[in-house]
């Protein structure tokens, strides 16, 4: 689960990064509106935390722009206390929620969970489970029947995506969009390579879970009887 922070106060951004990483989110932070826009448009994020007052490009304009581009990533606005007008503008322009600075960590985390849940995302627990496997996305570890091994980032992201989508078939396009960003040049072969890596590791663990191919459509995770 990947979150982008767009916040010009570097200290706050770093504090948030730490807090969110502790909750097993993947976090990137940028400190001006233009970088925020560029990153947000990649489409690889599951949620944006967006300050309103930003150098180069303010948060409201950034938000409007990505919505015009068809990016529907949930957005939580970070506002200074008392900027009620800004809050309303943000909500009307496509924000999902806002939170006023300073805020309680617990409240922020609850709002993030709520926003992700609304978008139909399954909110990750500490460890993701499917069949007899257990994936630790922050530690990049995959466990099964006591045995455990390390994954590399792309493997973990791929398996996480497949687990979160449960019984739905996931196309290579969707995988590319999620792992490499929607305008990336990544080839189908990239996906195939990581599917192959993952299958080898699942086999090594004797997992009952397998990645089955639906030819011409995509991949789906299955727990064997």
Partner DNA sequence: TAGGATTAAGGTTGGTTAAAGGTTTTCTCC
Partner DNA sequence: GGAGAAAACCTTTAACCAACCTTAATCCTA
Contact segment (CB under 7 A) with DNA among 29-37, 58-66, 108-116, 178-186 equals 178-186
CB of 35 to its own copies, least distance (A): 26
Cα 143 from Cα 149, distance rounded (Å): 7
Instruction: Report whether the peptide linkage leading into residue 16 is cis, meaning its omega lies within 30 degrees of zero.
Output: no
Single out the residue of 16, 47, 79, 111 in contact with its own copies (rule: CB under 8 A).
111
CA distances to 1, 35, 101, 173 from 116, in Å: 9, 23, 21, 22
201 binds DNA (CB under 7 A): no
On whether the CB atoms of residues 59 and 51 are closer than 8 A, the answer is yes
What is the smallest separation between the CB atom of 88 and its own copies, expressed in angstroms? 4
Q: How do strand 75-80 and strand 97-101 relate by DSSP bridges?
A: parallel
Site stretch for its own copies (CB under 8 A), options 11-19, 85-93, 189-197, 202-210: 85-93
3 with 89: CB under 8 angstroms? no
Q: Which residues within the stretch 141-170 sit at the binding site for its own copies (CB under 8 A)?
A: 152-153, 167-169
Partner touching 122 among DNA, its own copies, none, CB below 5 to 8 Å by kind: none
Footprint on this chain of DNA (rule: CB under 7 A)? 150, 152-155, 172, 180, 185-190, 192-197, 199-200, 213, 215-218
């Amino acid at each position: 689960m990947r979150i982008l922070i767009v916040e010009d106060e570097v200290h706050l951004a770093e504090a948030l990064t730490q807090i969110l990483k502790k909750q097993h989110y993947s976090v990137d932070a940028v400190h001006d509106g233009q970088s925020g826009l560029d990153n947000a448009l990649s489409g690889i994020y599951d949620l944006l935390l967006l300050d309103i007052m930003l150098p180069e490009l303010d948060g409201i304009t950034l938000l409007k722009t990505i919505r015009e581009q068809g990016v529907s990533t949930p957005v939580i606005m970070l506002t200074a206390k008392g900027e009620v007008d800004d809050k309303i503008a943000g909500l009307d322009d496509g924000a999902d929620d806002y939170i006023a600075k300073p805020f309680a960590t617990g409240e922020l985390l609850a709002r993030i969970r709520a926003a992700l849940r609304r978008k139909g995302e399954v909110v990750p627990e500490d460890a993701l489970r499917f069949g007899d496997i257990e994936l630790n996305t922050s530690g990049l570890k995959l466990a099964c029947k006591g045995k455990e091994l390390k994954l590399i980032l792309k493997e973990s992201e791929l398996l996480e995506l497949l687990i979160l989508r449960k019984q739905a078939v996931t196309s290579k396009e969707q995988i590319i969009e999620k792992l490499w960003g929607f305008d990336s040049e990544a080839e189908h072969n990239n996906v195939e390579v990581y599917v192959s890596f993952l299958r080898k590791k699942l086999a090594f663990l004797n997992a009952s879970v397998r990645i089955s191919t639906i030819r011409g459509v995509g991949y789906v995770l299955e727990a064997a009887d």
